[in-house]
């Protein structure tokens, strides 16, 4: 995990997972990512404002504590959740209240704070109990903290029930394959564009952090079909990008070669050869991306229209051969 070339973007995936968690009530919620508390770079990870009835209890048990204004803080697998983190988030909630457009526009009684982390924060709970707070396990993985200025809950995503909270459970760098299976089953029928975008965001973080687990998914035909269906839009985007990149590279290479030859015929041949080479490179990159995202060899062949030998050559790192024009 530490050696990955690009840092995994856990927070966007968390925003998407939370929206999937509250999908039954999402039309009554206003979710704002990285809500800026001021012109300076102080922002809340996720702010949820209930736009419907204040006293209506959300269907998802994580939302049972929530009131009108709700401040959420997420800590990724490598982040610490300390008592200072808790007080920082409570400070954000206080600032959010204080920045209302008029006096007491945001009553304190309508504010809640939620912190999310995969691992159980034993030290944090011990320190809170030492300060006179009371910790109550309200639901599996959901702990209420009594004795703070606002209603506070700590959500331990690794302890949440698998069937009810698969969107948050797959946000792990040590994901369980059963969590992946449950998530794919849960999201398989989602056709709404907004939901599909959230599913893709969660999968992107989860796949990048758990390549070995998703290699096992690749070998499970049922799960792989579900994964392919969920990432259908991304596959089409890869195709479009490869075509556009191929055209652009081909035209640039062809113009350069043609101008160097200084002949109209040479320019035409150079452009054609360059475009063919660029298209081939784009298709090769598409095939590598599909393989990385869990598609089987047969599925890649069906999508790309290429034979098994050609696909294997590309996956082995051999550049596609383009015949001279």
244-301 confidence digits (pLDDT tens): 666 666 656 655 555 555 544 544 555 556 656 666 777 787 788 777 776 777 777 7
pLDDT tens readout for residues 155-164: 999 999 999 9
What is the distance between the alpha carbons of residues 255 and 244, in angstroms, rounded to a whole number? 17
**36 or 249: which leads in pLDDT:** 36
Confidence (pLDDT) at 9: 87
Confidence (pLDDT) at 275: 58
- Three-state secondary structure of the chain: CCCCCCCCCHHHHHHHHHHHHCCCCHHHEEEEEEEECCCCCCEEEEEEEECCCCCCCCCCHHHCCCCCEEEEEECCCCCCCCHHHHHHHHHHHHHHHHCCCCCCCCCHHHEEEEEEECCCCHHHHHHHHHCCCEEEEEECCEEEEECCCCCEEEEEHHHCCCCCCHHHHCCCCCCCHHHHHHHHHHHCCCCCHHHHHHHHHHHHHHHHHCHHHHHHHHCCHHHHHHHHHHCHHHHHHHHHHHHHHHHHHHHHHHHHHHHHHCCHHHHHHHHHHHHHHHHHHHHHHHHHHHHHCCCCHHHHHHHHCCCHHHHHHHHCCCCCCCCCC
Confidence (pLDDT) at 182: 92
Of 71, 72, 70, 76, the C-alpha closest to 11 is 76
Mean of all residue pLDDT scores within the chain = 83
Average pLDDT on 188-207 reads 88
Confidence (pLDDT) at 166: 96
Confidence (pLDDT) at 1: 44
User: Which three-class secondary structure state does DSSP give residue 132?
Assistant: coil
**% helix, strand, coil for the chain, step of 5:** 55, 15, 35
Confidence (pLDDT) at 168: 97
pLDDT tens readout for residues 127-183: 999 999 999 999 999 999 999 999 999 999 999 999 999 999 999 999 999 999 999
**250 or 74: which leads in pLDDT:** 74
124 has a pLDDT exceeding 90: yes
Confidence (pLDDT) at 35: 86
**200 or 265: which leads in pLDDT:** 200
H or E stretch at 205: helix 193-209
Residue 312 CB: number of other CB atoms within 10 A?
14
Confidence (pLDDT) at 24: 93
Per DSSP, what are the bridge partners of residue 59?
none
Confidence (pLDDT) at 251: 59
Confidence (pLDDT) at 316: 83
Confidence (pLDDT) at 313: 84
45 has a pLDDT exceeding 70: yes
Residues whose CB is less than 8 angstroms from the CB of residue 241 and which lie 6 or more positions away in sequence, other chains included: 282, 286
Per-domain boundaries in the chain: 10-230, 232-315
């Amino acid at each position: 995990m530490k050696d990955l070339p690009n840092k995994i973007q856990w927070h966007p995936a968390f925003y998407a997972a939370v929206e999937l968690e509250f999908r039954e009530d999402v039309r009554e919620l206003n979710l704002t990512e990285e809500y800026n508390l001021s012109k300076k770079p102080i922002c809340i990870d996720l702010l949820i404002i209930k736009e419907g009835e204040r006293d209506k209890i959300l269907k998802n048990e994580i939302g049972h504590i929530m009131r009108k204004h709700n401040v959420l803080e997420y800590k990724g697998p490598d982040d610490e959740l300390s008592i200072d983190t808790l007080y920082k988030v409570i400070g954000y909630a206080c600032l959010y209240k204080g920045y209302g457009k008029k006096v007491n526009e945001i009553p304190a009684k309508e504010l809640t704070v939620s912190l999310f982390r995969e691992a159980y924060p034993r030290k944090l709970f011990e320190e809170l109990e030492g300060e006179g707070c009371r910790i109550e396990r309200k639901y599996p993985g959901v702990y209420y903290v009594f004795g703070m200025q606002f209603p506070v809950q700590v959500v331990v995503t690794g302890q949440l029930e698998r069937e009810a909270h698969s969107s948050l459970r797959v946000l792990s760098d040590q994901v369980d394959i059963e969590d992946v299976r449950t998530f794919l089953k849960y999201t398989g029928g989602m056709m709404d564009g907004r939901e599909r975008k959230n599913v893709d965001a969660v999968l992107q973080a989860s796949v990048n952090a758990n390549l070995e687990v998703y290699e096992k998914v690749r070998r499970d035909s049922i799960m792989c079909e579900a994964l392919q269906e969920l990432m259908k839009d991304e596959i089409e985007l890869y195709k479009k990008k490869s075509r556009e990149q191929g055209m652009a590279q081909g035209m640039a290479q062809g113009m350069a070669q043609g101008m160097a030859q200084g002949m109209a015929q040479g320019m035409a041949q150079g452009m054609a050869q360059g475009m063919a080479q660029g298209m081939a490179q784009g298709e090769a990159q598409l095939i590598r991306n599909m393989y990385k995202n869990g598609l089987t060899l047969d599925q890649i062949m069906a999508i790309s229209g290429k034979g098994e030998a050609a696909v294997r050559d590309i996956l082995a790192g051999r550049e596609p051969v383009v015949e001279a024009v």
